[in-house]
Amino acid sequence: MTDHAFELVANAQCRVLLLGSFPGARSLREQQYYANPRNQFWQLLSPVIGVDLVPLGYADRLATLLAHRIGLWDVVATARRTGSLDSALRDIAPRDLQAVAAGLPDLRAMGFNGATAFKIGQRQLGQSPAIKCLLLPSSSPAHTVGLAAKAEQWRQLASYLGKTP
């Protein structure tokens, strides 16, 4: 069975677009980006914007991201996968990242949540993208680097938002 990723969460004021690979099993069930509480996405992003996203409801999390000029999407539109590991992705249909970037006039950077998202995204963007592409350590619980080490690299997003990390 082929699963479908979620709609783009962005507006014309977005300066950063965060891109995952494809929603995990729990996210697909709940129809929410990063629904697995073991995924560190919301924890990693909180210090970047200075708002604790973890206790917020999902709609408030998304509204807060947009208020801080951050968009959210995945690089894969459809795929087949058993479980949640990127290594299990099959029959991938990528998104058109160039078209989305062209529609976001204030976009300064794309942050790729993990190596798989980065690899697929780079294929879509080509050799010389007009905006900065950042490979971020995956927020997935399968990526066992400690939270502090991941957070250090995620803090670089603040500079593209006009914030001091």
Whole-prediction pTM: 0.90
Quick one: CA dihedral 126, 67, 161, 148, positive or negative? Answer: negative
Place of tokens 């963007």: 125
Summarised one tens digit per residue, pLDDT across range 39-91 is 999 999 999 999 999 999 999 999 999 999 999 999 988 777 776 666 666 67
d(CA 107, CA 69): 9
Is residue 11 among the annotated active site residues?
no
As given in the structure block, the two tokens for residue 28 are 């697909």
Tell me the HSE value of 144 on the side-chain side, using a 13 A CA sphere: 0
Domain 3-160 has CATH 3.40.470.10: yes
Instruction: Tell me which of 11, 36, 39, 113 is the catalytic residue.
Output: 39
